[in-house]
Amino acid sequence: MAGIGPVEPEPPSGDGTPHTPAHTDTLWAGSPNSLHLHERWAALPPHLRRTLQALLAAAAVTGAYAYTALTTTPAAPAPSPWPSQVTFLHYEGTGPPDPHHPRTATFRFTVSVRDTHPVTIRQVRAGLPGLSTQVPALPLTVKGGAPKPLTVRISVYKCAALPPGFTLPHLDLGLRNRQAQQQHSYLFGGAFPRDLATYLHDACGPRTGHSGPPRGPRTDLTRK
């Protein structure tokens, strides 16, 4: 039967003096039997020192890279602007009359986008009651730096619904880009109100209150 008894002190040596523990030869010992750190480093062969130096340098670089990767938060990409902020509509004038649709007028516009991402026009509506619109080219996608023509056909389907007068007619566009889908009203002054008033006067007569083209500077207001 094997067992472990209580630990007892070692008896003194033969001459009565206590036993002295043997010195342990460690790297950091300062006893006369051990070498200091720099002495040990100097005692190493040159090729071994170069190898250790390369390993220490590689470990330091790896540690610094890992710390940077863990503590650095990547910057969030800048959000894209709303489509109405980068889409511009410029009035170019009226188009030729359609002999098959005498109550319809053609108005020509140019659409430009000032952004790196394209904008798609999905819908165009006239901004006055009693009018309907037709845009054969929809949906129309316009890229930045590449303007495209937009032809809008406006028809009167109810003259009595027209207001007695107007100064700033507008077109309501449905726009979409990578940021959002948006409804935006484009107001116009100058040439477009005059041409539209002339068309309404010819189509519905003076009873609508549109006695002729309004006078004013030929300036297009293509934004709100």
Residues 23/31, Cβ–Cβ less than 8 Å:
yes
Predicted confidence at residue 4, as pLDDT, reads 47
End-to-end CA gap in the chain: 101
- E strands present in 13-100: 87-94
Alpha-carbon distances of 158 from 85, 163, 200, 213, rounded to whole Å = 34, 11, 11, 20
Alpha-carbon distances of 185 from 144, 168, 175, rounded to whole Å = 20, 11, 10
Closest CA to 162 of 118, 117, 122, 132: 132
In tens digits, the chain (224 residues) has pLDDT values of 444 444 445 555 555 555 555 444 444 444 444 456 666 666 767 776 677 667 776 766 676 666 666 666 666 666 789 999 999 999 999 998 877 777 799 999 999 999 999 999 999 999 888 899 999 889 999 999 999 999 999 999 898 888 877 667 889 999 999 999 999 999 988 899 999 988 988 888 764 444 444 433 333 334 43
Tokens matching residue 141? 């996608």
